[in-house]
Amino acid sequence: MKIRRYLGSNTQEAILKVKMDLGNDAVILNTRKVRQKGFLKIFAKPMIEVLAAVDDDYGTKKEAQRQNISQQAAVKEPPKEIPAVKTDGKDEKISELETKVNSMEMLLHKIYDQLQPASAQPVLPQPVEQRAAEQKAEASPQEKQSTYPKVFELFYNNLIKNEVEIETAKRIIGLVMEKIGQNASVNDVASVLNNVISGILGKPETVRMREDGKPTVVMMVGPTGVGKTTTLAKIAANYALNHKKKVGMITADTYRIAAVEQLKTYAEILGMPVTVIYSPSELSEAINQHSDKDVILIDTAGRSHKNKAQFEELKTLISAANADEIYLLLSATTSPRNCKEIISNYNFLKDYKLLFTKLDETQITGIILNARFMTNKSLSYITTGQSVPDDIEIMNVDKITKNLLGSIT
């Protein structure tokens, strides 16, 4: 028998040490309080001493128990692999079932398609990829096939290619179909479409001269970069050289570098006076200085409709001018969305005419029809280059219409 001594701060701690060392089979022989030896430990709290005993073969039994536990664990380990094998088998069976179900579904689709007439619409569920592709096509109106008869569809597509607004194109095609029906010939459709679009574009209007002896005041407005100064010089040259009118020019474009010098150069070549103003309050006096002229052309600085402060200044200038005619200049290269936004922001103008620049830079003319349709304002000139005074002309409605209709081959 083995006898061992254990110390603890209390009985429970001492007995716990016994069980941890000797196990539950240990026998408690004696328990007592003892004081620790040493000068510094005289006043310390007494310790609990426990004497415990255990059989001599305790260590052998303990090792045997450990080996027994290890053997049992080893015996139990192989079954852990069994569930994995079973799971793989289930996955394979599920995969086989899914394959069979898919095959049966495809077979049902084929049988159903053979039984249905050619015109019938399928009612069985479509594959996810096909449904997604169809939804994407429906989400893009410009790419969606129209439901018009073939002849009308050709002209509709030509309008869309020319960037005519979708709703505008639909209304035009719908109007033509109401007039001549759906079974009309190509020539009839082309003829009526030509008349409808020409009617929408209307007859272009140039500067209407006053008849009371006072000068006709004309103002050019529009966003930055559309070519207002060059266009003004072209119109000035046209009236001076071709119509023998006395022309005066005023510029309020003092923001752009060299803008004043550019107009002064044109004025010197054409032999015309030019006045520079720096605020709206100077405009009335500048107009009075040209009271002996037939036409007074006013150039304004390009103003972004997104800059509210500058746009308010432009409104003040327009109000001070009290112009007889105002021309809103738009570049033919402007996107339909930006064109709509520009027109919306210039809706404070009581009356104006539409003038399109840079038609030499694009073959797409849908912006002209869109702007005319949205504003119901008269068309006027187009510019086709930078040359002064040559690259300006009155808009040719027939030419624009034919361009919009395009080819039907």
Question: Domain with 360 in it: what CATH number?
Answer: 3.40.50.300
Q: Is residue 169 part of a domain?
A: yes
The total of structural domains in the chain comes to 3
Phi, psi values for residue 22, rounded to 5°: -105, -15
| 395 in the same domain as 358 | yes
| 223 in the same domain as 358 | yes
DSSP, collapsed to helix, strand or coil, labels residue 48 as strand
Predicted local confidence at residue 27, as pLDDT: 76
Q: Is residue 11 part of a domain?
A: yes
Predicted local confidence at residue 393, as pLDDT: 94
| 138 in the same domain as 50 | no
| 189 in the same domain as 241 | no
Q: How many CB atoms lie within 10 A of CB 265?
A: 14
Measured distance CA(70)–CA(299) in Å, rounded: 101
Phi, psi values for residue 41, rounded to 5°: -105, 10
Q: Is residue 103 part of a domain?
A: no
Q: Which helix (H) or strand (E) segment is 176 a member of? A: helix 166-180
| 293 in the same domain as 394 | yes
Can you tell me the mean pLDDT for 94-106?
69
Measured distance CA(204)–CA(395) in Å, rounded: 6
| 197 in the same domain as 52 | no
Cis peptide before 389 (omega within 30 of 0): yes
* Residue whose token pair is 């036409």: 295
Q: Is residue 254 part of a domain?
A: yes
Q: Is residue 64 part of a domain?
A: no
Predicted local confidence at residue 183, as pLDDT: 83
Predicted local confidence at residue 148, as pLDDT: 77
Measured distance CA(313)–CA(395) in Å, rounded: 31
pLDDT at 61 over 70: no
pLDDT digits (tens, 9 = 90+) for 337-387: 999 999 988 888 889 999 999 999 989 999 999 999 999 999 999 999 888
Predicted local confidence at residue 144, as pLDDT: 45
Measured distance CA(227)–CA(209) in Å, rounded: 24
| 175 in the same domain as 29 | no
Which domain-ending residue is among 149, 176, 201? 201
| 177 in the same domain as 223 | no
pLDDT digits (tens, 9 = 90+) for 241-264: 999 999 999 988 877 667 788 888
DSSP, collapsed to helix, strand or coil, labels residue 220 as strand
Q: Is residue 75 part of a domain?
A: no
| DSSP summary character for residue 241 | I
| 269 in the same domain as 390 | yes
Q: Is residue 16 part of a domain?
A: yes
| 183 in the same domain as 226 | no
| Inter-residue contact 354 to 371 (CB < 8 Å) | yes
pLDDT digits (tens, 9 = 90+) for 183-238: 888 889 899 999 999 999 999 999 999 888 899 999 999 988 898 989 999 999 99
The boundaries of the domain holding residue 183 are: 129-201
Q: Is residue 63 part of a domain?
A: no
Comparing CA positions, the residue from 244, 270, 234 lying closest to residue 382 is: 234
| 224 in the same domain as 182 | no
Residue 108 pLDDT grade (very low, low, confident, very high; cuts 50, 70, 90)? low
Q: Which two tokens stand for residue 6?
A: 């254990």
| 373 in the same domain as 255 | yes
Q: How many CB atoms lie within 10 A of CB 2?
A: 13
SS (H, E, C) 269-283: HHCCCEEECCCHHHH
